[in-house]
Amino acid sequence: MADQHNHEHDHDHEHEHEEPQPTKVIGEVPDLANATARPITVMGNPVLHRECKDVTAFDAELSALIDDMFSSMYAAEGVGLAANQIGVDLKVFVYDCPDDDGVRHIGHVVNPVLEEPPVGRRRVLDDGQEGCLSVPTAYAELPRPDYAAVTGQDKDGNPIRVEGTGFFARCLQHETDHLYGFLYIDKLSKRDRKAALKQMAEGTPRYATVPND
């Protein structure tokens, strides 16, 4: 997922408040000494438009993939990245994303499943803007629940659960969607989707991408 403040529209709108700088970190900054930043696949690449395969091997190859995903995400200045965004057909995503309280969340989820909203929890929608590294330079307002929880596994196969609010909740939903073959623009109205695609056609990514044949 693209950083919500890292795009050209930031200069065209006044914000009521600036996103707070993270004061707390949940997770660990990865050691990427041996990692490789890979180019990003973009809309139209078949791997982005189908459900990815479940991860069944929790080995050194998976750990290396996760490192490469972090490196690729940082190179593209994103806050989340799914494996199919670097052309790998596996259910894995990584994130380094702040929530609305300024807490920085860093980690990965293998074989993620988005939980249903808790019974009795009031459903609040966040109407924030959303962008995607695989739809470069395009942004659109997309309502999403302001709370999300994902269950899955870590790189060693241990069960994990990650929950978040605000912008981090958006990231968890966005990246899980990727691994089931959906881009955020698939959730837009026809008009907003057309506008987003126009932004993408007119813009130039700041990072390496894989051309669609």
Query: Is 115 noted as a catalytic residue in this protein?
Result: no
Check: CB of residue 135 under 8 Å from CB of residue 196: yes
Q: Is 187 exposed, middle or buried (0-12, 13-18, 19+ CB in 10 A)?
A: middle
| DSSP secondary structure code for residue 12 in this structure | T
Q: For 179, phi and psi rounded to 5 degrees?
A: -75, -10
Query: In sequence order, what are the residues at sequence separation of 6 or more whose Cβ sits closer than 8 angstroms to the Cβ of residue 113?
Result: 150, 151, 152, 176
The residue annotated as part of the active site, out of 8, 14, 19, 175, is 175
Residue 37 in 3-state DSSP?
Answer: coil
Catalytic residue numbers? 175
